[in-house]
Chains A and B, each alone.
Chain A
């Protein structure tokens, strides 16, 4: 029950921050959509009515929206921990009997709901701008996102751990945007090992849902296992490495400094 109360407290805080700073979020969303419209117009102008290009534009549309999601998910964990350390609230979060990792997982679950909602809004706008029609099976997409995003939260935890110890890691976080672009582009069909990267398989499954209208119930056991194992692996590695960084931070007394 205690865990439920703490989950609810985190949910409420996220909602308060989202509502209070909604203008900022809306501007960010508008910029993303505006940038997409500009990129799409350029691509269309170059490709004219090329059928192959139209086909790849579908992929571009989904990849762009997923990139937004992945960026937000990945930086959310790292930035929020670094921000809490900077503000001085991180120590207070460590002063509860509820483990900090649970508070973090609670936050990630709420964030997934928020990011998924933003994803659906972006996709709707993109379809409106491009005239491309995609299959928006909300439940299937949400379930895949919910599981898949945990792999990126794992990477975010590694970054947060580095942030606790080395403080100024903004450049590293900035550079990682390009790595995520890579993750959104590389295809496991060409290089099968790519499937081991975080979120790649989730991206492939979402592509299948949106382009081919496949429901999550049609995915094979192999698909589900790959998705689960990929996310579990990265979140476990993330938690373990974060815990190591946390231990060092406890030793050096760096939890409240930034």
Chain B
């Protein structure tokens, strides 16, 4: 699945046009879990809907197995199923089983042919007991699971999930993340999920694209992205202020040097290129005769990486 220079503009009545997606490009490989990350209103849902063929785009192209979702939408839909807007896309007045039969049916698959797959998916998602329960009577998390099972019933190769963990409690969200990993691994499905939950991306995705205000902020593997800002960061807490000449020498070694005065101590936030530089810094601190309280490595999690990137865009520090 390829998204090339995608652009979506909404015409606003009496107002300026609103560019929801601006020149976004990425490709998702077979069997990969790909994250589309961004804050609320970043353009994630618009991107997903363009991929589904539910939203007409103004420029660029979306190709699903080589089929343009603008020109040959029906052919592209042979390979895609989606869960959009949480769990609104299912019939709440019907039971879990009835929903599964219905969605398989409207995709042209006979009820009898999906029996085995229904059983398998309900077991996999621990929904066997809820099989004959009307969806309306299920918890939010269960409804979300049902929506995902429905997207899998037709056994299409690409699954699009728009905010799959939205509104779920911690336990259910973790449960779902585990399930998504299992599906991608066991069934070889290609999954594109949009979320603003960094935990989901960190734990499930292989690669991701971060978008903000419709533009690509970052596009890389989760691992690389974390490395990007995870240079060697240390927090050093000293009893007193380091003498000026020592401070000057440390500054020459470090990439970043920040001093902060606390009530009864001084905190130094430093970033170095090479971890071996730390030996030199420690020697300098030793000769400064200032008492060392603590030294710790500070690692960013993806949330901080994301916040830094998004902040960067707002300050025009990072361009797409």
Contact = CB atoms under 8 A, between A and B. Distances in A.
> A and B, one complex?
yes
Contacts of B105: 5-6, 8-10, 12
Nearest to A11: B105
A59 interface: no
A13 B93 CA distance: 10
A97 B74 contact: yes
Contacts, number: 101
Given A97-B74, A253-B55, A256-B84, A92 B108 contact: no
Interface stretch (A83-91, A178-186, A217-225): A83-91
A95 B81 contact: yes
A95 B56 contact: no
Q: Is the interface of A mostly helix, strand, loop or mixed?
A: helix
A207 B123 CA distance: 57
A20 interface: yes
A9 B85 contact: no
A9 B106 contact: yes
Interface in B81-100: 81-82, 84-85, 88-94, 98
B78 interface: yes
Contacts of A91: 52, 54, 84-85, 89
A256 B102 contact: no
A20 B54 CA distance: 31
B283 interface: no
Given A5-B110, A9-B104, A12-B101, A256 B56 contact: no
28 contacts: A2-B108, A3-B108, A5-B109, A5-B110, A6-B105, A6-B108, A8-B105, A9-B106, A9-B111, A12-B98, A12-B105, A16-B98, A20-B93, A87-B91, A88-B85, A88-B88, A88-B89, A89-B89, A89-B90, A91-B85, A92-B84, A95-B54, A95-B77, A95-B82, A99-B74, A252-B11, A253-B10, A255-B54
Interface of B: 10-11, 46, 49, 52-56, 74, 77-78, 80-82, 84-85, 88-94, 98, 101-111
